[in-house]
Amino acid sequence: MTWITRAKNTWCPGCGNFAIEHALKDVLTDLAEEGRRAEDFVLVSGIGCHAKIADYLAVNSFYAIHGRTLPVAAGIKLANPGLTVIACAGDGDAYAEGLDHLVFAAKRNQDITVIIHDNRVYGLTTGQYTPTSYEGFRGRSTPGGIRERPINPVALMLASGATFVARTYTRKRDHLREVLTAAVLHRGFSFVDVLQVCATYNNLTEYYDDRVYLLEGHDTADLTGAMGKAREWDYSTDAPIALGIFYEEEAPANPWTAMGGIGKDERERTIRTILKEKT
């Protein structure tokens, strides 16, 4: 099967989105070769440069509005629990407008995978700062440099109860593919913050290349240790940047009853009961 569509690609040369697209293509290819059907995958994207991945990968897909990637993904999973639902979102998309949805999806441990294309800038709208932009970042809306400290999404997801929390980097292609595979296979909410450059408005290639390192000997079942590693770099300072799976655990997922798990007759009775109570 050809996973890359013929749609004209409009990402800038050097954009980190290419690496995520092809890594995700490799993950889907491997899973299909192991017996997964292509029609069982659903990709949901938000608004921003990253969102075009829905046009470029040949899987069932849905464009959500800004910040609403996860509610759509959660609804699809509730309607049909048999689907493998992957949500792609940008850092502005997920950490600004969509922050509450991200926290609650982690809290509920819904069985979906969210991949954050974290270039730490609004690229599509020509360079405004996002929640993960570093202190002092100069953008189109902040020419004097921002004075706010960035949020740490890895620490935030650990505190929110996510059962799979990881960070990787687009210039580590093998690592990117390995982490995305583990995230998709995880049963429960899996979160991956993917550091990537915006080649036009925030090219941090040298900064990342000089600081990233792979987690080794880290106990992914140790939440306290994971939080310590997450706080090692605060998305602003010059500290070493850990890449890998910070935390992983098996826990009950999907506290809400899946519609797909209810028979037609029972679903109709439930709907009639609700409507009767409302009238």
Q: Cα–Cα distance between 164 and 245 in angstroms, integer? A: 7
What is the value of pTM for the model shown?
A: 0.91
Split at pLDDT 50, 70, 90, the class of 260 is low
Question: What is the spatial distance between Cα 7 and Cα 47, in angstroms, rounded to a whole number?
Answer: 18
Band the pLDDT of 259: cuts 50, 70, 90. low
What pLDDT score does 254 carry?
A: 64
Per-residue pLDDT reduced to its tens digit, 201-233: 999 999 999 999 999 999 999 999 999 999 999
Helices (H), the chain: 17-33, 53-56, 69-79, 91-92, 99-108, 153-160, 173-185, 205-211, 223-230, 264-278
> Rounded mean pLDDT of the chain?
93
Does 93 score more than 60 pLDDT? yes
Ranges 27-36, 124-133, 248-257: which has the least confidence: 248-257
> Tell me: the pLDDT tens digits for 147-206?
999 999 999 999 999 999 999 999 999 999 999 999 999 999 999 999 999 999 999 999
Angle formed at CA 145 by CA 139 and CA 148, multiple of 5 degrees: 110
How far is the C-alpha of 219 from the C-alpha of 206, rounded, in Å?
29
Alpha carbons 151 and 74: distance in angstroms, whole number? 24
What value does the mean pLDDT take over residues 68-95? Answer: 94
Mean pLDDT of 3-26: 96
Q: Is the pLDDT of residue 8 over 70?
A: yes
In this predicted structure, what is the pLDDT of residue 279? 75
